[in-house]
Amino acid sequence: MNLAEGVQLVSFGLLAVMMITAALGVVLLTNIVYSAFLLAGVFISIAGLYILLNADFVAAAQVLVYVGAVNVLILFAIMLVNKREDFAVLPRGWIRKAATGVVCVGLFLLLGTMVVATPWAISVEPVIGGESTVVQIGEHFFSDFLLPFELASVLLLMSMVGAIILARRDFLPEELSRPQGDISTASMLPERPRELASLGEGQKTNR
């Protein structure tokens, strides 16, 4: 075993221990905020495992999407709606815990059996460092899959513009909200009551 293989083995061990410890903290801690932060640790550990597999694009997407978007959204939701309540013991709660433990042990045995029984193809030839996966994916996006890539971007843009218009209808000017010409009122969305904030007064007037 050379130095590179030793570093990879040690890195894999540290990332595996970090991921398993954080995952246990997610399901065992009673404080949901701590569980959400530990969930970010699980995602980061998985990204590190992707880096060991030379999947740098998947690792970057893991950090950006799961840690930077999904986990932050979970934290925002927890902090906005979290209410402190007294802990109430559920009747016959040990049955639920026992059933959960049985399911978890069964899944672990199933996955472990699959890992042991699968004939993994191990190559003894040295791996030659090639082109980065990010470069390869970018080349495919802008050559073979250019049309689906552009259509997806246009669809996302239309969805974003529609969400902004629906969310900010209260601030449309009065002359734009009235039907003009031959525009039928049936084809227009119903207006919600608009509240215009007065600049000089602290009260609001309903129209």
Residue 196 resides in a domain: no
Q: Report yes or no on 181 lying in a domain.
A: no
In a shared domain, residues 74 and 140: no
In a domain? residue 178: no
Any domain includes 95: no
How many domains does the chain contain in total? 2
Residue 189 lies in a domain: no
pLDDT at residue number 186: 47
Domain boundary among 18, 50, 81: 81
**Quick check: is 36 in a domain?**
yes
What's the CATH number where 59 sits?
1.20.120.1200
Question: How buried is 35 (Cβ within 10 angstroms: 0-12 exposed, 13-18 middle, 19+ buried)?
Answer: middle
73 with 137, same domain: the answer is: no
Q: How far apart are CA 14 and CA 33, in angstroms?
A: 24
Give CA–CA dist 160/150, Å, rounded: 15
Q: Is residue 53, in this structure, part of any structural domain at all?
A: yes
pLDDT score for 180? 53
The pLDDT value given to residue 149 = 83
Token couple for 52: 């060991």
Q: Are strands 204-206 and 195-197 parallel, antiparallel or unpaired?
A: antiparallel
Structure tokens at 207: 């129209």
| Residues spanned by the domain of 62 | 7-81
CA distances from 95 to 90, 98, 105 (A): 10, 5, 15
170 with 206: CB under 8 angstroms?
no
**Which residue, 64, 81, 98, sits at the end of a domain?**
81
**List of residues 6+ apart from 32 with CB closer than 8 A:** 78, 82
Torsion of CA 69, 152, 51, 44, to 10 degrees: 10
Which pLDDT score is estimated for 49?
A: 92
pLDDT tens, position by position, for the chain (207 residues)? 677 788 888 999 999 999 999 999 998 888 888 998 999 999 999 999 999 888 888 898 899 888 888 888 888 888 777 666 666 677 877 888 899 889 989 999 999 999 899 887 766 665 555 667 778 888 888 888 889 888 988 998 898 888 788 777 665 555 554 555 544 454 454 544 545 444 444 544 444
Q: What is the pLDDT of residue 107?
A: 93
Dist. CA 42–CA 70, nearest whole Å: 13
Q: Is residue 113 part of a domain?
A: no
Predicted structure pTM score: 0.58
